[in-house]
Structure 1
Amino acid sequence: MFKSLLKRKDKIVSTEAAPDIRSKRPNAGEIRDSGLNETLFLSPLPVYTGQTQSSRRNFSEVNDTFLELGGSNWGTVEQGKILAAGLWFPIFLAFIMPSLVIAYGVIFYPENFSDPWRELFGFIQVSISVSLLSFLPIGAYVYGMISSVYSSAKTYPVRFNRQRREVCYVDSKTRRVLIVPWESVVAWVSNTQGVTSYGATRQYTFGMGLEDEEQDKVQFLLLPQPSDAHALGMWTSIRNYMEDGQLVDAPNPMLKALGLTPSGDRLKPYEGLHTFEIEREDARAMGSLDEGGDELTPEQREHYGYSKKSRWPLRRWYMWRVLSFWKMPYMLAEWAHRKGRPTLPEQVQTWSEALPPEQWAKPSAALVKANQMVKTAMDKKGATFVEACKAAGLHG
């Protein structure tokens, strides 16, 4: 399957169980099949992939010295909106539905509703008691959100130091620091197929293995992904940062299409109250409200190539914000961000300090040679990633 993918800007895939990388050392471009599971190894030797990078939101911090994987609160705003939708159910059941039923009765069967206000208050009392049951699943959802935030506040991100060409992992329970050479990291993308009562399913995972020589074991990092492209894109972002210094700051193509220039807030690696303002700005841009040409007539705007202005995107945006309790989801995201994460050990903070350029570690000769051969095979000869790695002698 992988042989038909990865053909310059193509895809790949992921796994739930970590592969055996101790007894049988993998190589970049190698494919292993095990039952319904297929694994493509991308390293050791982090060679060129030629693929598209993933979104910056996978990373909690990116600077000239290190990149952090994990520790971000992306998705919290969406969770807050789902919570708001859930809260409307008991409100509808307790107040809106009784009001609609009584209003309907008063209009079409007035003889049966001589005292509508008394009927309404009685109906509301009953509906409120019934609606209280809906707070059980809502409470479970809120508990899950809060637990996730507190769990994240205890989990250390993985740091990739491009100046030292090393990777740092901190165990959340023991606070033990593991630092390994970048070129020794084993990375893979896997897909696992399964069958349920609803049909065939496929799960994707991006994984990394950091070998702990002192304890004679491997520290595995398994990150479920929505697709093979997401999994490969995450590795490509990390690899391009470590090898080429790319900061994963490329703006969303949609923003470019809308003519929006990314600002400091748009490049923040987390969600919060600033996300509310960004979404409002996007809604205004959708209606071309800030495009200019205010002094022109509609005919002149069309003649000079301006888009037709419309307030409906912004009106719809305000309507949905009201239904999602205004800034409530964004306040939850801000709280999740401020809750923070554990303070990194002093050893890691020292390790993360910038070095003078003359002290920066250099890629190995083996990697430089392999990179050139893989890049030439993919870009000039049209080879797939697997074929290019084989041509470079990385696997049989």
Structure 2
Amino acid sequence: MVELGKRLAIQIWLAFALAFIAPVLICLWLVIASPPEIDRKFLDIIGNVVQVFATGASLFIIPIGAFIYGMLSNVRTLAKSYPVRFNRQRREVCYIDDTTHRVLIVPWESVVAWVARSQGVTGYGALRDYTFGMGLEDEEHDTVQFILMAQPSDVHALGMWASIRNYMEEGELVDTPNPMLVLLGLTPTEDELKPYEGLHTFEIERKGARFMGSLDDGAEDLTAEQRHRYGYGKRTRWPLRWWYVRRVLTFWKMPYLIAEWAHRKGRPTLPDSVQAWSQPLPPEQWAKPSPALQKANALVKHAMDKKGINFVDACKAAGLH
């Protein structure tokens, strides 16, 4: 949503530039470039030119309105859509039907996942579509609940599954701190641990920009050539000037306010049974993976670490594909 808010700001600036900045520049050019026999005065022509360009810029209302409608529609859709929840302690997956609100909880080891690729030919060339899918077996109704998510490539689709599997099997990025933060000796703040975009994202980005700018401090005894050779930036009194310029052009915190609002509106309240299911368990009550899964994970890990092959080939080598 932050990125969409920045794109909205760019569209507003384009309309503003067409309505006011462009006519001013054109009138200045006409006044300066006119031959002496043609007496053009800036104030005499600017009014009519601005009126013409402003009328044309009013057509931007259509694409800007369509863009805003798309953003609101996306938020409205998310407000009615329940997220799929993965409980690592119970080793279960929870799906809630958006229409009937029926709760389906299945064991993690019964989940089936796949990556699908389709290709079509148009007048403009070949098009490829990639989809990451999961199947949750509903034993009560003897059906399978399919969950499909479009992805930009098969690598992204496989990465989606790898992140889910990594969370459920290894718990990395959950129980262990970010290695880069450990290396730098930094402790994540409460805002930095929030798993969504909002007003806190702006402060995080500014903190990161200040940190990157501080990397160029020091090394006063180096020449400009040596600074470039060793990776230092150019000396400047305000290293974050372009960062602030970009934020001003995107209306400062407006995109982050939109993201904050979308987060508050973007998810329905979970049923009480799911909220209870989501509560943490004491470690002694955590579900354990089956011996068959432990063996399969060991085979895949051995193939990836020792043979240096990717996840798909490791599954094939282990007879799991």
Query: What is the CA-CA distance between 1:114 and the residue it aligns to?
Result: 4.4
Checking the alignment, whether the CA contact within 8 Å between 1:113 and 1:119 is kept in structure 2 is no
Return the alpha-carbon distance in structure 2 between the equivalents of residues 351 and 251 of structure 1.
Answer: 28
Choose which of 278, 292, 302 in structure 2 pairs with 1:376: 302
Distance 1:99 1:262 in 2: 51
Q: 2:156 aligns with which of 210, 218, 230?
A: 230
Task: Please point out which of 287, 290, 299 is paired with 1:364.
Answer: 290
- Of the three residues 259, 262, 266, the one matched with 1:336 is 262
Counterpart position of 2:13: 88
Give the distance between the partners of 1:92 and 1:359, measured in 2 at CA.
62
Corresponding residue SS for 2:240: helix
Counterpart position of 2:196:
270
Distance 1:107 1:367, change over 3 A: same
Q: For residue 251 of structure 1, report the CA deviation from its aligned partner.
A: 4.7
Residue 252 of structure 1 and its aligned partner are, at CA, apart by 9.3
SS in 2 for 1:155: coil
Q: Answer yes or no: is the 8 Å Cα contact 1:251–1:262 preserved in 2.
A: no
Q: Within the alignment, does 1:107 sit opposite 2:25 as a pair?
A: no
Q: For residue 153 of structure 1, what is the aligned residue in structure 2?
A: 79
- TM-score using structure 1 length: 0.71
Query: Gaps (5+ residues) in structure 1?
Result: 1-75
State the shift of 1:140 in Å: 0.3
State the SS of the aligned residue for 2:214: coil
Q: 1:194, 1:201 within 8 Å by CA — same for their partners in 2? A: yes
Q: How far did residue 175 of structure 1 move? A: 0.7
The one-letter code matched in structure 2 to 1:207 is G
Q: Which runs of 5+ in 2 are unaligned?
A: none
Counterparts of 2:199 and 2:107 in 1: how far apart (Å)? 38
Report the alpha carbon displacement of residue 95 of structure 1 after superposing the two structures with TM.
Answer: 0.7
Residue 242 of structure 2 corresponds to residue 354 of structure 1: no
Shift of 1:384: 5.4
The 1:287/1:138 distance shift into structure 2, 3 A limit, reads: same
Counterpart AA for 2:118? T
Indicate conservation of the 8 Å contact 1:280/1:314, yes or no: no
1:112 and 1:355 map into 2 onto residues whose CA distance is 85
> How many residue pairs align between the two structures?
314
- Structure 2 residue matching 1:287: 3-state secondary structure: helix
Give the drift of 1:279.
2.4
User: Who is 1:173 aligned against?
Assistant: 99
User: 2:276 is aligned with what amino acid?
Assistant: T
- Asked if the contact 1:287–1:314 (Cα under 8 Å) also holds between the matched residues in 2, the reply is yes
1:389 Cα shift?
3.7
Within the alignment, does 1:213 sit opposite 2:139 as a pair? yes
Stretch of structure 1 that moved more, 119-128 or 169-178: 119-128
Whole-angstrom CA distance in 2 between matches of 1:197 and 1:390:
37
SS at match of 2:77: helix
Say which is worse superposed, 382-391 or 277-286, in terms of deviation. 382-391
Look up the SS of the partner of 2:173 in the other structure. Answer: coil
**One-letter code aligned to 1:101:** I
Q: Which amino acid aligns with 1:91?
A: F
Aligned to 2:44: 118
RMSD between superposed Cα atoms in Å:
3.0
Secondary structure of 1:223's counterpart equals: strand
- Alignment partner of 1:97 is 2:9: no
1:218 alignment partner, SS class: strand
Deviation for aligned residue 1:151: 1.3
Alignment partner of 1:142 out of 68, 86, 89: 68
The one-letter amino acid of 2:286's match is W
Distance 1:193 1:275 in 2: 38
Point out the structure with the larger helix share. 2
